Structure 1
Amino acid sequence: MIQRRLEDTISNALKRSPSVALMGPRQVGKTTLAFSISEAIPSVYLDLEDRLDLEKVRDITLFHAENSDKLIILDEIQRLPEVFAPLRGIIDKERRKGNRAGQFLFLGSASIDLLQQSSESLAGRIAYIELYPVDLHEYAKAEEGRQDAVNTLWLRGGFPESILAETEQDSLDWRKDFIRTYLERDIPQLGPRIPAETLERFWTMLTHNQGTMLNASHLGRNLDVASVTINRYLDLMVDLLLIRRLKPWTRNVGKRLVRSPKIYVRNSGLTHALLNIVAMNDLLGHPVVGGSWEGFVIENLMAVAPSRMTPFYYRTAGGAEVDLVLEFGVNERWAIEIKRSSSPSVSKGFYLSCEDIQATRRYVVYSGQDTFSMSKDVKAISLFDLMEEVKNEGQ
């Protein structure tokens, strides 16, 4: 059992807010967390993929009246977005009675942005939290070690069933089944009717282009569809928390800047499963190794980042680039270069880019364990330690 950091965060949010939405991809551990929380307080759990449970909350007002003394947990909430409309009245009625917090916990497998579109009437009455797959801090703590934890987590990804599988092949088989379930059941239920084979080809193409700038026309030619269709497929995968669309930092710096987003398959284990990468040696010899490591680093940093932080990348038309820009408000901006090498180095373009964006801190994440200065302003640091720096920035 891997202890998840967000359990206390969710419990505290329920003490402040009438409702909390916990979002994350399937099998990431949302239901396990909800059951753990429900052990401490009277609760009722409903899975909206179960037809009987779905019927119970068709009239949410009546269901709440019968369970007003309990925390109502609704799993797979994106199945019933119309439930949000009457909740405003229910929550406001309870507030007038003095019951101001801890009434509803929603679990969903779609993005927070997508859920917010369905729950605009709950402004000021709902807190949103995203649960990432198991990150390096959580896994290293469970394994009581760092370097082996880094490699295992990177290879398998952070879905609990994958990371805890007995063998590499068992882990890969679980991830392939996960992908098949999404393609054949979940996506057809939640999105447009896209043939599973087409979407699998699209997903695999994105893994081959991990960490590169989006070229919808090129992808469209390979799939024999229009670029507008590619963008529709991509929107769906982003909404399902399977793909990250990293936006460029485009403040006016007096230079021509690249403005296309960079695309990452968010979970490294799914990247490797789509490419049939079984073992670490297979990964280290594969062309995707650099992009896979880059995406893995980004997702781990995002897992511990405060909500006020916004991620970008920076690239000029001349090729000067920063792999990751973390912006903590107006005056705090970190430039991060991501290197798989154990002997990292950076180009002149990185230094120029740091000046362009006026970076307040400059890091190079590498595969080693030591922290040391590479120059006056640039520090080489392990992923584990940079996660600690990012987490501390939010405290």
Structure 2
Amino acid sequence: MYKRSVENILKEALEISPCVLLSGARQVGKSTLCLSLDREYRVFDNLTQREAAKYDPQGYIASLPKPIIIDEIQKVPEVIEGIKLAIDTNRVNGTFLLTGSANVLDMKKTKDTLAGRIVEIPMYPLSQKELHHKPNENIVDILFTKGVEGLSLEKKSYHKVMQAILNGGYPEILKIDTPRGKSLWFNAYISTYVERDIRDVGELRDISAFIRFFNIIAPRSCGLVNKSDLANEANLSEATVSNYLSMLEMIYQVSLLKPYTSNVSKRFIKSSKFFMNDSGLLSHLLGISSVEELMESKHKGEVVESFVYNELQKHIGYSLTQPKIYHYRTNDKKEIDFIIEKADKIFAIEVKSSQNIKKDAFKHIIDFQKKSDKEVVGIVLYAGEQRVSFGDEEHIRVGLPLSLFF
């Protein structure tokens, strides 16, 4: 069993708030973590519990022993009102620990957002740091407090790095040794959990159209969101595309990364960038089942970049620093994969899937450094094994191996 980076954050949240929502995709380990805590447990996957809660949400909540874990809260969002009333009647920190594989606070059926009564904590698939038993080593915090020199680099072979990217971070997939077994698990995950949760969060009249759309968007990971193109390719209306994307965000399967805008340039591309939230599931949807297939795939760059985004998302989500992350693209085709910003400090990060890099890999970072009035550290993440410097007297620019996530 892996110790999770979110565990200490969760315990602290329970000490300061009467209600805590631990939210994240199915099968990331929410229930396993919650069950390790010493408290009563109810799950809305159980039909009896679900029906009782829907019939009399206030009475159901009042009857529960406290403190309590309520699992899969998105299945009965009606109980939110009962939880609110219980907290207002007897406010005790740590009383309710809720889990959800859909963002219950955004759901239409939710009557009250529990403002002032709840702390929401995201939980992601396993990070490489968690897998390597370093759950408290946060790359983002290290970057902002110690700089690139503070990062510890784990030596990993190219093959092992690619295999980790291919696996992704779902705990159950890491127990399976064969490509066929992994494929069977991912197929079951989509049909059992993704389809079910989509039905929980919104009206879905045509499941076949949704699954077709889900397969169409996978090759677009790392690309700009163009709803018109998606609508044409999937033979759907733009309104339906917007609805499907919104629902996929609500069940934590995809993310839309906002563009960076500042006085650096007035010619920014304003579209968000689309990412699948797990490189293993993305690889499966692209039909990639081995390292050899990944290395030969035309989508190799997108899979590697998605992996980096997934890892950065985890580290930012669990960080003390809590910076913002964006993508950068201008009308004259200057592009930087990720901009991580906090106050007057920026880390501009480019991702390369190759094992070697040249100064040319930093060309758009160099342009950005010249234009920005903030401190900008340039990083190119690549599949090699060495830390290499490309900086000058004014700016830090460094190539770092992808193994820094391990």
Global fold match (TM > 0.5): yes
TM-fit CA distance, 1:112: 6.9
Q: Which residue does the alignment assign to 1:392?
A: none
Aligned partner of 1:9 in structure 2 is 9
Equivalent-residue separation in structure 2 for 1:111 and 1:383 (angstroms): 31
1:29 corresponds to 2:29: yes
Output one character per residue of 1:121-178: Cα deviation in whole Å (capped at 9) or x when no partner. 5222211111110111111339x98446533331021111112212222112101111
Letter in structure 2 aligned against 1:114: D
Separation in structure 1 between the aligned mates of residue 108 and residue 121 of structure 2, nearest angstrom: 12
Distance in structure 2 (CA, Å) of the matches to 1:224 and 1:314: 30
The unaligned stretches of length 5 or more in structure 1 are: 389-395
1:186-197 to 2 correspondence within 5 Å?
A: 186-197=197-208
State the one-letter code of the partner of 2:3: Q
Change (3 A) 1:62 1:192: closer
2:312 to 278, 301, 311: 301
AA aligned to 1:168 is P
Deviation at 1:359, TM superposition (A): 4.7
- Residues of 2 paired with 1:384 and 1:347: CA distance? 20
TM-score with structure 2 setting the length? 0.85
Q: 2: distance between equivalents of 1:267 and 1:20?
A: 25
Structure 2 CA distance for partners of 1:91 and 1:156, relative to 1, 3 Å: same
Partners of 2:205 and 2:156 in 1: CA distance: 41
TM-score (norm 1): 0.88
Identity %: 30
In the alignment, what sits opposite 1:391? none
Query: Is residue 257–residue 273 contact of structure 2 (8 Å, CA) maintained in 1?
Result: yes
* Residues 1:227 and 2:238 aligned together: yes
User: Structure with the greater relative contact order (CA < 8 A, sep ≥ 6): 1 or 2?
Assistant: 2
User: Is residue 71 from structure 1 mapped to residue 67 from structure 2 by the alignment?
Assistant: yes
**43, 49, 70: which one pairs with 2:45?**
49
The corresponding residue for 1:124 is: 116
After TM superposition, the structure 1 stretch with the greater mean CA deviation from structure 2, 297-306 or 245-254, is 245-254
Equivalent pair of 2:58/2:79 in contact (CA under 8 Å): no
Deviation at 1:302, TM superposition (A): 1.3
User: Which residue, out of 376, 379, 385, partners 1:369?
Assistant: 385
Query: Partner residue of 2:106?
Result: 114
Instruction: Answer yes or no: is 1:280 the counterpart of 2:291.
Output: yes
Question: What does 1:79-98 align with in structure 2 at a 5 Å threshold?
Answer: 79-95=75-91
Decide which of 388, 398, 401 is 1:379's aligned counterpart. 398
SS at match of 1:311: strand
Give, in whole Å, the separation in 2 of the partners of 1:237 and 1:152.
Answer: 26
Evaluate the alpha carbon distance shift between residue 62 and residue 149 of structure 1 in structure 2; reply closer, same or farther with a 3 A threshold: farther
Contact 2:126 2:169 in 1 (8 A): yes
Asked if 2 retains the 8 angstrom alpha-carbon contact of 1:17 and 1:126, the reply is: yes
Cα drift, residue 303 of structure 1? 0.5
Amino acid at match of 2:385: Q
Q: Is the 8 A contact 1:22 1:129 kept in 2?
A: yes
| CA distance in 2: counterparts of 1:29 and 1:223, whole angstroms | 33
Q: Which amino acid aligns with 1:164?
A: K
Superposed displacement of residue 74, structure 1: 1.0
Q: Secondary structure at the match of 1:171?
A: helix
Deviations for 1:34-54, whole angstroms, at most 9, x for unmatched residues? 1112xxx2x221111222111
Gaps of 5+ in 2: 135-153
Matched, 1:240 2:254: no
Aligned twin of 2:224: 213
| CA deviation string 1:276-299 (max 9, x = no partner) | 211110111111110111011011
Task: Assess if the C-alpha contact under 8 Å between 1:248 and 1:315 holds in 2.
Answer: yes
Q: Secondary structure at the match of 2:130?
A: helix
Kindly report structure 1 stretches of 4+ aligned residues shifted beyond 6 Å. none
Q: Give CA-to-partner distance per residue, 1:350-393, whole Å, 9 cap, x none.
A: 211233444532211112233231222201123343x59xxxxx
Q: Give the distance between the partners of 1:18 and 1:67, measured in 2 at CA.
A: 15
How far 1:28 sits from its partner (Å)? 1.0
Letter in 1 for 2:201: L
Number of the residue aligned with 2:145? none
Question: Is the partner of 1:361 in helix, strand or coil?
Answer: strand
Code of the aligned partner of 1:378: R
Matched, 1:360 2:376: yes
Classify the secondary structure of the residue corresponding to 1:141.
coil
Hey, what does 1:320 align to over in structure 2? 334
Instruction: Supply the distance in 2 between the matched residues of 1:109 and 1:186 (Cα, whole angstroms).
Output: 7
1:14 partner letter: L
Is residue 172–residue 273 contact of structure 1 (8 Å, CA) maintained in 2?
yes
SS of the residue corresponding to residue 212 of structure 1 reads coil
The amino acid across from 2:273 in the alignment is K
- C-alpha change, 1:64 and 1:118, in structure 2 (3 Å) is closer
* SS of residue in 2 equivalent to 1:241: coil
Relative to structure 2, which stretch is displaced further, 5-14 or 294-303? 5-14
Contact 1:112 1:128 in 2 (8 A): no
